[in-house]
Amino acid sequence: MPSPVLADAVDTAAAAYRTSLGPTFESSAIAYATGKAHQLAGHPEAAWSTWVAALEAPSARGWPVMMNALVAVTLELDRVQQTVDHLARHADRLPELHLWVGVLASRVGDFSTAEVAFGHAEQRTTGELRFTATTERLQVLLALERLSEALAAVGTAIHQQPQHEVALRTSRAGVLNRSGRPADALTDLDRVLSIAPGFAPAWLNRGSALARLGRAKEAQDALAKAVQLDPTLAGPAAALAP
Amino acid sequence: MSRPAITLVNLWMTDPGQRYMPLGLLWLRASLEAAGYGVELRDLQFLTDEEREDPEALAARLDDSHGILGFSLMSNALPLVVETVRLLRLRRPERRIILGGPGPTTVARPLLDAFDWIDLVVRGEGEHTIVELMAALSSGDPSAPRRVNGVSGRDAEGTFHAPDRALVIDQDTLPSPRTDDLDLAAYSVYTTVTARGCPYTCRFCEIPSYESRRVRKRSVDRVVAELSQVWHDRGVRSVAFQDDIFLLSKPRVEAILDGLQAAGVALKWGGFARAGRVDPDWIASLSERGMQSVAFGIEAGSDRLLDRISKGLTVKKALTGIDTAVPYMHTRCFFLWGFAEETLEDFFGTLHAAFHAQILGAHPEIGHVVPLGGSPLYLSWRDGPLEYHPAYPFARVIVPPRSADLEGLVLAAPTVFSAHYAFPTPDREAKWTVAAKAWPADRSGLASAG
């Protein structure tokens, strides 16, 4: 049973904390702390209210840490639509919020809404947020079986953050396999394995590509290599075996 | 007659997975070797947790040590070492066993009163004391240890406490430690100390009780020579300065960095600083000169409590310091809960500061304050018995007793093992419920980022 004593103590502490700091610090950062205190004190509703209210402040930021916390508590309280409404209301001013609209929508299986939201985030944010939006949109496009758009998205992601080339090219190879283009997949995987010969998922996708090309022995060897490097891939490898 | 030899034993028990160089013992070894004594160093932190925390196993491992055996330890290992010494006494009654380091230093009197198998404690800075004690032990005069300043002990006449030893003001008079026989790669990072002592008066801390508030420095040349040697000869590329506050004096830090630069040494490094004294321009400059991490002791998130514990810091200064450092380097900040004067509102204030630090990009850690034997907070404690709460897994520096025997020791002698106890604090259960969620048992940091 949530304790009103704890809730009052959190509110009193929050007021004292804000007074101590004065106007120096951005208020939504402090609101994150207040919400976490409420959450840990057993009041997820108060945490939710604190975090959505924090977005009203003119200087508010969509701190990724706070937004991830808001997503978690939203799902716990089953308040997806309410949270999405709040986020959408502030998204013109805080375009990063589109990202978490997408996250929430995809968590409840509304991939169409998620794809649109991630698209907005991709267009209107920069840096890490933009990259996250792109890769999240990639996952949604795969869920929607929109494979050609998924290929475009993964290409964009590679362009944005080439340091993640190994994982992204491996993903693209998977999409190419699913698109019926195993020869193109092999081109990506050759590149990946020249950089990271011990990357087990690349061997798995290589096995899949070779199987699709009818090169059964090579496919079996590649799948065996994947399992040798990562025994947890034994199940997927068996399913792909020619 | 040849000089006797000593086995020095390190039992580091703080951060799971972290392995730290036994700096205290390396300094003792240097002084002993300079005086012509043979020294065997056994770093038992590399044992498994099970063996390292099992007195029977430790006693068996030390069965073949030299005739004189020295343990250096902090308060957390005190029950373990007391029991290990008891078992060693049963196996090897003739062996002379010396305890030293922060753990026994501040509780030497009650330690000797409570456990009749403990007979020698080196209090405080040990380099000179251990050398003189070795001479006393080999003199053939059983009362000779009584005349060694800095030693508490027991002999046929009873317990004794020789006067405190004067601190070593000129640290350059001490022989420099050698690390030629250490596998440096086995340790988490190369560590060194450039100065001893802390000028601050935080009431929960006991460091000034044995290192003093006077900061006693090694010369810049000595520090640079040590780091230059390990850079060139041992391939060391990063160092953690273990001074209580490394960023204490800007001219001194700059002089060390200038010296390193002139020697062609480009170490990555980190150290402790005061959050209230972070100069934005300087921190930016330091990040360009290799500083990659900083650690701040913040402790509390309410100005009232910070004042009560004499932290010399305000919440605003603390968070400003964190916010200044985060863009430039990995920023750790430490918080404590469980103070006797901590209201529920103070406690949630501390959580506010910790999570605020987190969202700014720092790495906060919350631990439980413990009554360290030499701390003003403990020494002035007059409000009833301390509390024993062995279920708390999150008092960062304290490893709860692993066995009924060890727990029996702790329960029998609260004045010796005060660090295993807690101050009474209002609303303990409510705080504990919240803290346990914020501070998971894996001690890896605050619970998930959200």
Question: How much is the pLDDT for A185?
Answer: 97
* pLDDT confidence bin for B445, thresholds 50/70/90: very low
Range with the poorest average pLDDT among A64-68, A126-130, B111-115, B392-396:
B392-396
pLDDT at A136 over 70: yes
Helix/strand/coil for A240: helix
| pTM score | 0.89
Question: Given the structure tokens 């790669």, which residue do they identify?
Answer: B185
Q: Report chain A's C-alpha Rg in angstroms.
A: 23
Do B268 and B376 lie in one domain? The reply is yes
- If interface means Cβ-Cβ distance under 8 Å, which residues of chain B face chain A? 301-303, 314-316, 319-320, 323, 343-349, 351-356, 358-360, 430, 433-434, 437-438, 447, 449-450
Q: Is the dihedral of CA B364, A26, A135, A100 positive or negative?
A: positive
C-alpha to C-alpha distance for A166 and A11, rounded to whole angstroms: 47
What sections of B53-159 are H helices per DSSP?
55-61, 78-91, 102-105, 108-114, 127-137
Interface list for A 54-83 with B (CB within 8 A): 63, 65-72
Question: Measured between beta carbons, which residues in chain B are less than 8 angstroms from residue A42?
Answer: 433
* pLDDT confidence bin for B398, thresholds 50/70/90: low
pLDDT tens-digit profile of B29-59?
999 999 999 999 999 988 887 888 899 999 9
Q: Of A9, A24, A42, which has the smallest distance from its Cβ to B344's Cβ?
A: A9
Contact partners, residue B202, CB within 8 Å, separation at least 6 = B297, B299, B309, B310, B311, B312
Q: Domain of residue B57: give its range.
A: 5-161
Per the model's pLDDT, the better-predicted residue between B404 and B408 turns out to be B408
Asked if A21 lies within 8 A of B347 by C-beta distance, the reply is no
Do A111 and A141 lie in one domain? The reply is yes
What is the pLDDT averaged over residues A179-189? 97
What is the pLDDT averaged over residues A132-152? 96
Amino acid at A171: S
In a domain, B112, yes or no: yes
Angle at A228 between CA A226 and CA A229, to 5 degrees: 65
Do B292 and B155 lie in one domain? The reply is no
- Phi–psi pair at B151, nearest 5 degrees: -110, 135
In a domain, A74, yes or no: no
In a domain, A31, yes or no: yes
Question: How much is the pLDDT for B1?
Answer: 53
* Boundary (domain end) residue, out of A160, A194, A227: A160
Say how many domains are in chain B: 2
What is the pLDDT averaged over residues B268-283? 96
Question: How much is the pLDDT for B382?
Answer: 86
What is the pLDDT averaged over residues A167-194? 96
Q: Of A6, A17, A66, which has the smallest distance from its Cβ to B359's Cβ?
A: A66
For position B363, which CATH number holds? 3.20.20.70
pLDDT tens-digit profile of B86-141?
999 999 999 999 999 999 999 999 999 999 999 999 999 999 999 999 999 999 99
Interface confidence, given as ipTM, is 0.87
In a domain, A55, yes or no: yes
In a domain, A18, yes or no: yes
pLDDT tens-digit profile of B196-252?
999 999 999 998 888 888 999 999 999 999 999 999 999 999 999 999 999 999 999
* pLDDT confidence bin for B395, thresholds 50/70/90: low
Asked if B352 lies within 8 A of A65 by C-beta distance, the reply is no
Mutate to test the interface with B, among A3, A8, A12, A17 (most CBs of B within 10 A): A17
Q: Domain of residue A44: give its range.
A: 1-60
Do B24 and B112 lie in one domain? The reply is yes
Do A121 and A92 lie in one domain? The reply is yes
Mean per-residue pLDDT of chain B: 92
Q: Is the dihedral of CA A67, B296, B11, B191 positive or negative?
A: positive
Burial of A128 (0-12, 13-18, 19+ CB in 10 A): exposed
Token digits for B382? Answer: 């007059």
pLDDT tens-digit profile of A203-229?
999 999 999 999 999 999 999 999 999
In a domain, B193, yes or no: no
In a domain, B220, yes or no: no
What is the percentage of chain B residues whose pLDDT exceeds 70? 94
- Phi–psi pair at A49, nearest 5 degrees: -60, -40
C-alpha to C-alpha distance for B42 and B181, rounded to whole angstroms: 11
pLDDT at B13 over 90: no
pLDDT at B14 over 80: no
Question: How much is the pLDDT for B443?
Answer: 41
- Whose CA is closest to B33, among B224, B180, B247, B165? B180
- The answer to whether A150 faces chain B, any CB pair under 8 Å, is no
Do B312 and B249 lie in one domain? The reply is yes
Sheet holding B5-10, edge to edge: B38-43, B5-10, B68-72, B96-100, B120-122, B151-155, B158-161
